[in-house]
Amino acid sequence: MRLVLLGPPGAGKGTHAQVLSKDLSLAHVSTGDMLREALKAASPLGLKAKAYMEKGLLVPDDLVIALVKERLSRPDARKGFILDGFPRTPDQAKALDASLKELGMPLSVVFYFKTSLPVVLRRLTGRRVCGKCGKNYHTQNFKPKTDGFCDVCGGKLIQRPDDREETIKNRLEVYDKETFPLIDYYKKQRLLEEIPGDLEVKELNLVLVGRLKKSWS
Ligand code: AMP
């Protein structure tokens, strides 16, 4: 199974990719996570990406496309994957199509998380992530058992720098301009399935599982 999760920042793509990838044994390919790792390691890619990420802008296509191409050619991804946060521009989508064609692995479905602005803002401003393992939490809707610490690895929870209000505005503008056109792109390929992104995690997971079962029956 080869899935793309599409939608604005705060739509829940990362949360659901984490759950689905575990339940279905699929590789979770998150360009945001990979870029944050590169930033943490101060690798050449991380140093190039830093200024864009801090401002809530997109990292240039050539860097992200090379990253994803390499990741999808690894053995675990060849068994199936969930793309979370990629593609984000028409050029990335075209490059993905070309790579997957070369690898003989066409996409199964693109889930578009249609999410309203108030919900997106509430999720982004309240989001906290584990600084160690990256698990997502929320200050109101998904609290850890011990305040400020990750249930899974005990790491300290932090607010992503790009989840601050001034950066969120940029990220949403970038989404509207660069990523929103992909909905039409995948509609034309008959791959798009719209998902009610405003639903809470458990309900939305049930919807996703139901849709996947339907696609596979
Ligand atoms: P995310 O965790 O998916 O919200 O991504 C965090 C940040 O990483 C974004 O605001 C971008 O700066 C960068 N990023 C992640 N994925 C991409 C992508 N596909 N293309 C360009 N930049 C990306």
Task: Render pLDDT for 110-169 as a digit per residue (tens, 0 to 9).
Answer: 999 999 999 999 999 999 999 999 888 999 988 999 999 999 999 999 999 899 988 999
**17 CA distance to ligand 1 centroid (A)?**
15
Question: Directed axis angle between helix 165-174 and helix 117-126, to 10°?
Answer: 140
Instruction: Give tens-digit pLDDT for 191-203.
Output: 999 999 999 999 9
Domain ranges, residue 12: 2-117+166-216
Q: Is 163 in the pocket of ligand 1 (CB under 6 A)?
A: no
Ligand 1 atom index nearest CA of 86: 19
The pLDDT value recorded for residue 143 is 94
Q: Is 5 in the pocket of ligand 1 (CB under 6 A)?
A: no
Question: Would you say residue 87 has pLDDT above 90?
Answer: yes
Ligand 1 atom index nearest CA of 174: 10
| pLDDT level of residue 8 (50, 70, 90 thresholds) | very high
Is 51 inside any structural domain?
yes
Of 74, 70, 65, the residue nearest 96 (C-alpha): 65
- Tell me the average pLDDT of the chain: 95
**78 CA distance to ligand 1 centroid (A)?**
23
**CA-angle at 78, arms to 74 and 83, nearest 5°:** 85
The pLDDT value recorded for residue 63 is 97
The pLDDT value recorded for residue 157 is 97
Q: Is 65 in the pocket of ligand 1 (CB under 6 A)?
A: no
Is 182 inside any structural domain?
yes
Alpha-carbon distance 149 to 155, whole Å? 6
Of 129, 159, 158, 103, the residue nearest 30 (C-alpha): 129
Is 146 inside any structural domain?
no
Residues recognised as catalytic:
13, 88, 127, 160, 171
| CATH number where 14 lies | 3.40.50.300
* Poorest-pLDDT segment among 147-161, 180-194, 203-217: 203-217
Is 20 inside any structural domain?
yes
**213 CA distance to ligand 1 centroid (A)?**
29
The pLDDT value recorded for residue 90 is 98
Query: What is the pLDDT averaged over residues 17-24?
Result: 94
- Counting the structural domains of the chain, the total is 1
| pLDDT level of residue 217 (50, 70, 90 thresholds) | low
Ligand 1 atom index nearest CA of 36: 8
Bridge partners, residue 136, by sequence: 129
Is 124 inside any structural domain?
no
Is 138 inside any structural domain?
no
Using a pLDDT cut of 90, give the percent of the chain over it: 92
Is 113 inside any structural domain?
yes
Q: Is 52 in the pocket of ligand 1 (CB under 6 A)?
A: yes
Is 77 inside any structural domain?
yes
Alpha-carbon distance 198 to 42, whole Å? 36
